[in-house]
């Protein structure tokens, strides 16, 4: 029987802007995280501040931006027009307040709704904004959105522009830290989209002359590009296109008004459709769309009047119209490619010939694999994928009340004991478990055919739903969870090889991680400390004097479910798998997974001590 509870006027309350942001931060910045993922909240905070500086550059005010991150303190300084001095407090603390509602000032702005800097302010323990213009200055300081200090109209010799400093709140962003690699990637995208802009980050300068062409060429190896990058530009649109010699799937980088739309949207769908149509018309052949786009590496950026995004984090465009009297997004992009790409192919017959050869090769491979794919799908069904091999999460069954796809995680485990512990301690709403059976095959140098013929790879591919494209990826985070011993590290390497060989874009787009679990448990009757390194173990022993109990975890299966929940919950530690763009994927795989060479033997010997320290830092004296 339902319990009777009162429901009166006293139950109704209104939250002010900062209370609402702090209570529901996900509504404003997406997922929180700890900085191990590129879409974690601390990077969204930086982006929200930086977007305002970028908008100043777009409007012709200021050619450089300076960013500093020391520890957890972030400083962003631009040399734009500066915030109107009488509105410095309002624009960072009053919802729906800003200059971007006036389309005369910001025609194609990144941020439109006046929320971004308010969210940063509310979610920071320290927030300071300073505006310099016309020889005067105004500044304000806040704590968790509460104004603590204000200085108005002080004479100054400082250069015009805006300076924002903030420290994300550790109560909201637990155990967080900024990773320079993610910040650098964000800043590179900004300069690709704004040729001529210089961004300095902790002393390192980022600059681009050739826009999206630089993006493609900085993120791929010259030897792997099938033909010279196609680079096309016009008002409100820019595209860059090439094909990979070795990559199997499609890779896209898409942007709207300078925002990296990692989930695509109407503009990316239109581009994919228009590219296929243009190629078909050029060759006069009705090639299969998947064959035309196989191995494509491309980037598209459009500028839209008052774009509509599907969330505050602006990762997917929902607009169907370009605005400003232009046609629909679909028509605009189709007309652009129909004219400019077609002209390019006529003027560059070698590129056109290379594309056609690639299409015909993809067609042959698709037909060869068609029978194998059918058999593989049947095997996946018979393996009871959603019952034994894969223990799915409720997000995919419609049981979760909110859209939490960004939080979905698949743990890839070795053995029944490890998968059992994770399964019992996981968050069933967002965390799924895939259990490996034995060591995976070393797939270096093998063709895509092996993915369907090998049971483990076939089932893993089916679980992730990436057979056709990673656009349908079922889990935002793929976490390799293996023991911290030699066998466990070997399995990690074999799995990373699998993803690099057949699905490198999963790594390029920041979906693959290694789970860090504690090596030691140090405890006394009052306190338990889990230690991930030898240094942490020594510190824990010092803290829990005189002689605490010390346990060395040799494998994930030895950690009880009650303990495991601490390591895959709010305090989860993930190491992202990142690519070194200076080396091609082929070079990396050849060195680490190819035939043994004197160079690799020397590398192993030189790094043996480091590896042993990581695997078992406790050695007998």
Given 206, 226, 246, the domain boundary residue is 206
Based on the fold, state whether residues 173 and 231 are members of the same structural domain.
Answer: no
Mean pLDDT of 259-274: 89
pTM, full prediction: 0.80
Mean pLDDT of the chain: 84
The alpha carbon dihedral of 164, 169, 173, 178 has a sign of positive
φ/ψ of 553, rounded to 5, equals -80, 120
Based on the fold, state whether residues 202 and 216 are members of the same structural domain.
Answer: no
Based on the fold, state whether residues 323 and 434 are members of the same structural domain.
Answer: no
Based on the fold, state whether residues 474 and 541 are members of the same structural domain.
Answer: no
Q: What is the DSSP letter of 255?
A: E
Asked if residue 4 belongs to a domain, the reply is no
Asked if residue 1 belongs to a domain, the reply is no
Query: Going along 427-537, which residue ranges are E strands?
Result: 431-436, 477-481, 512-516, 520-523, 528-531
Quickly count: other Cβ atoms within 10 Å of residue 606's Cβ. Answer: 9
Based on the fold, state whether residues 573 and 437 are members of the same structural domain.
Answer: yes
Predicted local confidence at residue 108, as pLDDT: 61
Based on the fold, state whether residues 185 and 78 are members of the same structural domain.
Answer: yes
Asked if residue 248 belongs to a domain, the reply is yes
Residues above pLDDT 90, as percent of the chain? 39
Residue range of the domain that includes 96: 18-206
Asked if residue 370 belongs to a domain, the reply is no
Task: Quote the CA–CA distance of 386 and 375 in Å, as a whole number.
Answer: 18
Given 552, 571, 598, the domain boundary residue is 552
* Residue 254 pLDDT grade (very low, low, confident, very high; cuts 50, 70, 90): very high
Asked if residue 182 belongs to a domain, the reply is yes
Based on the fold, state whether residues 513 and 585 are members of the same structural domain.
Answer: yes
Predicted local confidence at residue 550, as pLDDT: 92
Based on the fold, state whether residues 338 and 444 are members of the same structural domain.
Answer: no
Closest to 123 measured CA to CA, from 70, 91, 166: 166
* Residue 349 pLDDT grade (very low, low, confident, very high; cuts 50, 70, 90): very high
Task: Quote the CA–CA distance of 61 and 80 in Å, as a whole number.
Answer: 5
* Residue 400 pLDDT grade (very low, low, confident, very high; cuts 50, 70, 90): very low
Asked if residue 470 belongs to a domain, the reply is yes
The mean-pLDDT minimum among 53-57, 97-101, 210-214 falls in: 97-101
Alpha helices in 81-198 (DSSP H): 88-93, 116-122, 180-193
Structural tokens at position 295? 């191995």
Asked if residue 8 belongs to a domain, the reply is no
Query: What's the structural domain count of the chain?
Result: 4
Task: Quote the CA–CA distance of 171 and 169 in Å, as a whole number.
Answer: 5
290 sits in which H/E element: helix 289-293
Helices 585-593 and 486-502, interaxial angle, to 10°? 150
Based on the fold, state whether residues 49 and 180 are members of the same structural domain.
Answer: yes
SS (H, E, C) 416-455: HHHHHHHHHHCCCCCEEEEEECCCCCCCCCCCCHHHHHCH
* Residue 616 pLDDT grade (very low, low, confident, very high; cuts 50, 70, 90): very low
Between the ranges 139-143, 242-246, 383-387, 417-421, where is the mean pLDDT highest? Answer: 139-143
Which of the pair, 7 or 433, is modelled with greater confidence? 433
Given 530, 552, 574, the domain boundary residue is 552
Task: Quote the CA–CA distance of 112 and 160 in Å, as a whole number.
Answer: 23
Mean pLDDT of 435-456: 85
pLDDT digits (tens, 9 = 90+) for 568-600: 887 788 888 887 655 566 666 766 676 766 776
Based on the fold, state whether residues 118 and 161 are members of the same structural domain.
Answer: yes
- Contact between 495 and 437 (Cβ < 8 Å): no
Mean pLDDT of 454-480: 86
Based on the fold, state whether residues 130 and 227 are members of the same structural domain.
Answer: no
Predicted local confidence at residue 422, as pLDDT: 87
Asked if residue 467 belongs to a domain, the reply is yes
Based on the fold, state whether residues 230 and 340 are members of the same structural domain.
Answer: yes
* Residue 110 pLDDT grade (very low, low, confident, very high; cuts 50, 70, 90): low
Mean pLDDT of 27-42: 86
């Amino acid at each position: 029987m339902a319990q009777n509870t009162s429901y009166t006027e006293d139950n109704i309350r209104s939250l002010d802007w900062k209370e609402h942001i702090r209570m529901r931060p996900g509504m404003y910045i997406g997922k929180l995280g700890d900085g191990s993922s590129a879409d974690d909240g601390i990077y969204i905070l930086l982006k929200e501040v930086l977007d305002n500086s970028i908008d100043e550059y777009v409007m012709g005010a200021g050619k450089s931006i300076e960013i500093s991150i020391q520890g957890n303190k972030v400083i962003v300084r631009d040399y734009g027009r500066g915030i109107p001095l009488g509105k410095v407090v309002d624009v960072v603390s009053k919802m729906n307040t800003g200059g971007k509602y006036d389309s005369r000032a910001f025609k194609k702005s990144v941020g439109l709704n006046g929320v971004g800097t308010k969210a940063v302010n509310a979610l920071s323990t320290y927030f300071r904004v300073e505006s310099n213009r016309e020889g005067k200055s105004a500044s304000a300081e806040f704590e968790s959105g509460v104004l603590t200090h204000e200085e108005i109209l002080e004479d100054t010799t400082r250069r015009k522009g805006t300076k924002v400093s903030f420290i994300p709140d550790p109560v909201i962003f637990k155990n967080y830290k900024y990773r320079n690699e993610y910040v650098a990637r964000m800043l590179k995208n900004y300069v690709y989209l704004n040729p001529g802009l210089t961004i300095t980050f902790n002393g390192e300068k980022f600059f681009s002359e050739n826009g999206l062409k630089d993006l493609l060429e900085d993120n791929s190896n010259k030897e792997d590009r099938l033909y010279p990058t196609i680079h096309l530009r016009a008002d409100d649109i820019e595209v860059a296109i090439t094909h990979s010699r070795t990559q199997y799937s499609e890779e896209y980088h898409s942007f709207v008004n300078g925002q990296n739309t990692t989930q695509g949207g109407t503009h990316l769908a239109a581009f994919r459709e228009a590219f296929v149509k243009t190629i078909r018309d050029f060759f006069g052949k009705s090639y299969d769309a998947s064959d035309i786009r196989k191995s494509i590496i491309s980037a598209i950026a459009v500028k839209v009047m008052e774009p509509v995004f599907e969330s505050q984090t602006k990762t997917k465009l929902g607009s169907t119209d370009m605005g400003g009297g232009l046609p629909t997004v679909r028509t605009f992009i189709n007309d652009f490619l129909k004219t400019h790409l077609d002209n390019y192919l006529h003027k560059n017959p070698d590129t056109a010939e290379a594309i056609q050869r690639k299409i015909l090769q993809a067609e042959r491979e698709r037909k060869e694999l068609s029978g194998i794919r059918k058999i593989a799908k049947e095997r996946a069904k018979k393996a009871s994928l959603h019952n034994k091999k894969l223990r799915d999460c409720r997000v995919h069954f419609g049981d979760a009340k909110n859209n939490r796809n960004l939080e979905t995680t698949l743990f890839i485990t070795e053995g029944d004991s490890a998968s059992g512990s994770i399964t019992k301690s996981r968050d069933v709403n967002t965390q799924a478990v895939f259990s490996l059976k034995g060591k995976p095959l070393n797939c270096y140098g093998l063709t895509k055919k092996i993915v369907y013929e090998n049971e483990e790879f076939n089932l893993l591919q089916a679980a992730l739903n990436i057979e056709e494209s990673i656009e349908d990826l079922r889990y935002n985070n793929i976490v390799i969870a293996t023991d911290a011993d030699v066998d466990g590290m070997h399995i990690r390497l074999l799995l990373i090889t699998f993803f690099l060989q057949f699905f490198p874009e999963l790594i390029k787009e920041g979906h693959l991680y290694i789970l860090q679990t504690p090596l030691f448990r140090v405890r006394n009757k009052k306190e338990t400390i889990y230690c991930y390194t030898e240094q942490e173990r020594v510190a824990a022993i010092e803290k829990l004097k005189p002689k605490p109990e010390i346990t060395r975890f040799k494998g994930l299966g030895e950690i009880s479910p009650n303990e495991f929940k601490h390591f895959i919950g709010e305090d989860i530690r993930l190491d992202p798998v990142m690519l070194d763009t200076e080396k091609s994927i082929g070079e990396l795989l050849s060195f680490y997974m190819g035939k043994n060479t004197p160079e690799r033997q020397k590398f192993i010997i030189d790094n043996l001590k480091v590896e042993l320290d990581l695997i078992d830092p406790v050695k007998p004296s």
